[in-house]
Amino acid sequence: MDTVNTIFILSGLLIGLSVLASRLSSLVGFPLLLIFLGLGMLAGEDGLLGIEFDNYSLAFVFGHVALAMILLDGGLRTRLKTFRVGFRPALSLATLGVFITSGIVGVLAMWIFDLTLMEGLLVGAIVGSTDAAAVFSMLSGRGVNLNERVGATLEIESGTNDPMAIFLTLVLVEMLVGELSGTVDTLLLLVQQFGLGLVIGVGGGWLSGKLLRWVDLAPGLYSLLALALGFSVFGITSFFGGSGFLAI
């Protein structure tokens, strides 16, 4: 069987199973992300399908595209009322909370895996952010209803903690390879990442909203245009050295 047909068959099979798994998750209350991880392990080289994949560059690109799409979808679904209710606690959790979590996990990783402090902190930064989608999936499956403030906090925090975790990861990687020398460089990188991400994100979002209200398209094309505009904002911000994840 040629490679193209194999890719179509495997892609269709994995996407179909993932969609059906979302229904299974809602019925039994099992976290959807764990089901996805299980499907990935079964499809991998040690699993049933035995797919061998070691193209890290391609995985990096797909991961960026997927995370950008997830953050864009979350941003478009978040109402202004939600920001008024839960912005302050969410911002604290997404910045200081991620920093503290990364530090605690980093120290434990250093102790358990016999790593240096920088290597341990890097492990902590990688797993420092959380995903509210997994929390909502688990809680809704068990019939737990969140009050408005807690739900709003989780919703906003899920879309704003990734930029901080990614920033910490970048800083620690650059420190380990010797490309970042001290506190001043770190602060400048922080200002650049979050400053440009905020300015270009707000400006691009405002212009995108104006364009989407002005242009007359077939109903199905609005979502594609919104996706294209979001990706453009992400790419422009990243090109100038800002946080594309914060912007989108």
pLDDT band at 152 (very low <50, low <70, confident <90, very high): confident
Of residues 66, 56, 55, 57, the one with CA closest to residue 33 = 66
- Note the pLDDT of residue 135: 61
pLDDT digits (tens, 9 = 90+) for 104-117: 999 999 999 999 99
Q: What is the pLDDT of residues 230-245, one digit of tens each?
A: 999 999 999 999 999 9
Residues 100 and 159 in one domain: yes
Task: Tell whether 203 and 146 lie within a shared domain.
Answer: no
pLDDT at 138 over 60: no
147 plus 187 within the same structural domain: no
Which of 85-94, 137-146, 216-225 has maximum average pLDDT?
216-225
Q: Decide: 137 and 154 in contact? Cβ < 8 Å.
A: no
100 and 81 in contact (C-beta within 8 Å)?
A: no
| 29 Cβ contact list (under 8 Å, min separation 6) | 137, 138, 140, 141, 142
Same domain? For 225 and 169 the reply is: no
Q: Report the pLDDT value the prediction gives residue 229, as an integer from 0 to 100.
A: 96
User: What's the pLDDT at 157?
Assistant: 82
User: Is residue 155 domain-shared with residue 197, that is, in the same domain?
Assistant: no
Residue range 63-92: mean pLDDT, rounded: 84
Domain of residue 217: give its range: 181-248
Give the count of domains, the chain.
Answer: 3
What is the C-alpha separation between 172 and 110, in angstroms, rounded?
Answer: 14
Give yes or no: residues 42 and 93 share one domain. no
Q: Residue 44: phi, psi to the nearest 5?
A: -70, 180
Same domain, 86 and 158: yes
Residue 23: what pLDDT? Answer: 78
Last residue of a domain, one of 179, 195, 212: 179
Q: Are 62 and 107 in the same domain?
A: yes
pLDDT at 142 over 60: no
- 172-216 pLDDT, tens digit each: 888 888 777 677 888 888 899 999 999 999 999 999 999 999 999
What mean pLDDT comes out for the span 85-108?
89
Q: Does one domain contain both 161 and 125?
A: yes
Percent of the chain scored above 70 by pLDDT? Answer: 91
Last residue of a domain, one of 118, 147, 179: 179
Average confidence (pLDDT) over 214-234: 93
Task: Please tell me whether residues 42 and 73 are part of one structural domain.
Answer: no
Mean pLDDT over 128-134 rounds to 69
CB 115 within 8 A of CB 123: yes
Q: Are residues 49 and 108 in the same domain?
A: no
Residue range 127-135: average pLDDT? 70
Average pLDDT, the chain: 85
Distance, CA of 37 to CA of 181 (rounded, Å)? 37
Q: Do 100 and 205 reside in the same domain of the chain? A: no
Residue pair 91/76 in contact (Cβ under 8 Å)? The answer is no
Q: Which of 14, 31, 54 is the last residue in one of the domains?
A: 54
How far is Cα 11 from Cα 247, in angstroms, rounded to an integer? Answer: 30
Packing angle between helix 117-126 and helix 98-113, nearest 10 degrees? 130
| Of 176, 161, 88, 174, residue with least CA distance to 130 | 161
User: How sure is the predictor about 137, in pLDDT bands with cuts at 50, 70 and 90?
Assistant: low
Q: Give the mean pLDDT of 56-73.
A: 88
Cα distance between residue 135 and residue 78, in whole Å: 17
